[in-house]
């Protein structure tokens, strides 16, 4: 009989696994949601020239008067560097270089223009107004991105603004999926008696794609001991992480665990004190990792969400992937006297979590409203949650 481990122990086992990460250099536009593998230093100062933050008039603050002549015009992209004529102002537009001799921009809304002159209330102007000075964002050689920082599309704007074209990131894992279950068919086929449509294949593909992971394969295997073992043996060669769906329980046709044992895969754990997803398996073979998810789709999804997804993020460079950032109160108290931790389909609204109806692990209807899963601790851990519950957003 296998001893069940707790959710926290299962997470801590996965959290402490050594991962050999590889670095790759990729174009910045491909790096969204990747983790930076090597610090980036700015090649230039930005802005690289003093420029105007407003459409208006550039002038020298010490020469400001209530009436001024407009002696020239400079627009964005202008490369001439003419000095400002003493005592005058220059018409200027947002992003245009400040002429030498000028140090202040007045926005056009506060002047009254008359021909080539304008009048202004000087008390409305402060020295340096609306001038974006060289290096205000960053200076050449400043550290812009640190190792381990997550790259967002904001980061990509930042890197692009510095002229950085490529970035070194941690390579995402190669992942493949093996589906078991002779009753499971794809949606192109008409259902015969006893058959069901595959929910886990599409769900796992979508979840992996959302992590920016390209799925190497989704293979369907027959519920036969030899077939299961041969497929795992062949396909594990192609990936860093192999995910199996179904066939991991104790039925006569559940061949996954014996196959993994025969192939010499080291079992990290099998069975976690949770619902859904009790018969969840994790194993390791050298630098490769294997997760076997229980076949019931809610159980598969729950185990993926709580354990596999953070693992893949950790593999991709996120050292904090298992530290839940999201804790919320429940709309309605949820009573349980179970020794198992529950992961329930729920809806997050107005910073409160509502547990949805239809929690059975075969029932997928509540996924139409569910925004994530909420963790309800077992009876032994209930007094330590402060009324806030871990939430795992989809």
Ligand X SMILES: Nc1nc2c(c(=O)[nH]1)N[C@H]1C(S)=C(S)[C@@H](COP(=O)(O)OP(=O)(O)OC[C@H]3O[C@@H](n4cnc5c(N)ncnc54)[C@H](O)[C@@H]3O)O[C@H]1N2
> Residue numbers of the site for ligand MOO (CB under 6 A)?
275-278, 294, 296, 299, 361
Six-digit token string for 74: 């400079």
Residue whose beta carbon is closest to ligand MOO: 299
Q: Does 297 help bind ligand X (rule: CB under 6 A)?
A: yes
Compute the distance between CA of residue 327 and CA of residue 329 in angstroms, rounded to an integer.
7
Q: Which CB, 41 or 226, lies closer to ligand X?
A: 226
247 binds, among ligand X, ligand MOO, none (CB under 5 to 8 A by kind): ligand X
Q: Does 294 help bind ligand X (rule: CB under 6 A)?
A: yes
Q: Does 240 help bind ligand X (rule: CB under 6 A)?
A: no
Compute the distance between CA of residue 33 and CA of residue 150 in angstroms, rounded to an integer.
6
Long-range contacts of 115-122 (CB under 8 A, 24+ apart): 116/69, 116/70, 116/71, 117/67, 117/68, 117/69, 117/70, 118/57, 118/67, 118/68, 118/70, 118/89, 119/66, 119/67, 119/68, 120/64, 120/66, 120/67, 120/68, 121/66, 122/64, 122/65, 122/66
Q: Which of residues 304-343 bind ligand X (CB under 6 A)?
A: none
Quote the least distance from Cβ 302 to ligand MOO, whole Å: 7
Quote the least distance from Cβ 211 to ligand MOO, whole Å: 22
Quote the least distance from Cβ 188 to ligand X, whole Å: 15
Please return the burial class of 81, using the count of CB atoms within 10 Å of its CB with bins 0-12, 13-18 and 19+: exposed
Q: Torsion angle of alpha carbons 272, 278, 284, 289, nearest 10°? A: -120
Q: How many CA atoms lie within 13 A of 134 on its CB side?
A: 8
User: Which H or E run includes 210?
Assistant: helix 200-210
Quote the least distance from Cβ 238 to ligand MOO, whole Å: 28
Q: From the list 42, 299, 305, 371, which residue makes contact with ligand X (rule: CB under 6 A)?
A: 299
Size of the site for ligand X (CB under 6 A): 27
Quote the least distance from Cβ 298 to ligand MOO, whole Å: 7
Q: From the list 183, 219, 227, 267, which residue makes contact with ligand X (rule: CB under 6 A)?
A: 183
DSSP 99: P
97 binds, among ligand X, ligand MOO, none (CB under 5 to 8 A by kind): none
Q: How many CA atoms lie within 13 A of 310 on its CB side?
A: 22
Residues 61-72: b if buried by 16+ CB within 10 A, e if exposed: bebbeeebebbb
Q: Which CB, 51 or 180, lies closer to ligand X?
A: 180
Q: Which CB, 67 or 360, lies closer to ligand MOO?
A: 360
Q: From the list 34, 89, 199, 260, which residue makes contact with ligand X (rule: CB under 6 A)?
A: 199
3-state helix, strand, coil in the chain (%, to 5): 25, 30, 45
Q: Helix or strand or coil: residue 150?
A: strand
Quote the least distance from Cβ 340 to ligand X, whole Å: 10
Strands 56-59 and 104-107, how do they pair?
antiparallel
Q: Which CB, 168 or 278, lies closer to ligand MOO?
A: 278
- Of 69-77, 91-99, 197-205, 209-217, the window that binds ligand X (rule: CB under 6 A) is 197-205
Interface pattern 244-283 for ligand X (x via CB under 6 A): -xxxxxxx--x---------------------x-xx----
Can you give the binding site for ligand X, defined by CB under 6 A? Answer: 179-181, 183-184, 196, 198-201, 245-251, 254, 276, 278-279, 294-297, 299, 361
């Amino acid at each position: 009989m296998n001893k069940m481990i707790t959710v926290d122990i299962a997470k801590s086992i996965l959290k402490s696994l050594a991962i050999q990460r590889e670095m790759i250099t990729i174009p910045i536009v491909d790096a969204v949601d990747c983790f930076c593998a090597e610090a980036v230093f700015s090649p230039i100062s930005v802005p690289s020239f003093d420029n105007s933050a407003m459409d208006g008039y550039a002038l020298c603050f010490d020469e400001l008067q209530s009436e001024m002549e407009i002696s020239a015009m400079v627009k964005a992209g202008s490369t001439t560097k003419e000095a400002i004529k003493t005592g005058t102002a220059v018409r200027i537009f947002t992003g245009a270089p400040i002429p030498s001799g000028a140090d202040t921009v007045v926005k056009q809304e506060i002047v009254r223009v008359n021909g080539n002159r304008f009048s202004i209330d000087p008390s409305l102007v402060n020295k340096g107004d609306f001038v974006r000075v060289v290096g205000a964002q960053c200076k050449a050689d400043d550290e812009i991105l640190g190792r381990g920082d997550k790259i967002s599309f904001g980061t990509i704007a930042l890197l692009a603004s510095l002229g950085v074209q490529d970035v070194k990131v941690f390579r995402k894992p190669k992942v493949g999926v093996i589906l078991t279950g002779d009753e499971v068919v794809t949606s192109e086929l008409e259902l015969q008696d006893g058959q069901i449509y595959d929910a886990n294949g599409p769900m796992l593909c979508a979840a992996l794609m959302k992590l920016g992971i390209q799925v190497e394969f989704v293979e369907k295997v027959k519920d036969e001991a030899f077939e299961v073992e041969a497929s795992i043996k062949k396909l594990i060669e192609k990936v860093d992480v192999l995910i199996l769906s179904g066939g991991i329980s104790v039925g006569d046709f559940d061949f996954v665990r014996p196959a993994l044992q025969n192939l010499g895969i080291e079992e990290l754990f099998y069975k976690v004190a949770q619902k859904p997803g009790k018969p969840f398996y994790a194993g390791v073979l050298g630098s490769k990792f294997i997760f076997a998810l229980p076949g019931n789709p809610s159980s598969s999804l729950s185990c993926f969400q709580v354990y596999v997804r953070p693992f893949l993020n950790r593999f991709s460079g996120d050292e904090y992937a298992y530290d839940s950032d999201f804790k919320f109160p429940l709309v309605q108290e949820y009573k349980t006297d179970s020794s198992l931790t529950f992961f329930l389909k729920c809806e997050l609204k107005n910073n409160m979590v509502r547990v949805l109806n239809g929690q059975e692990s075969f029932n997928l209807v509540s996924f139409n409203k569910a925004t994530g899963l909420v963790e309800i601790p077992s009876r032994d851990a209930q007094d330590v949650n402060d009324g806030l519950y871990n939430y795992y957003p989809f």
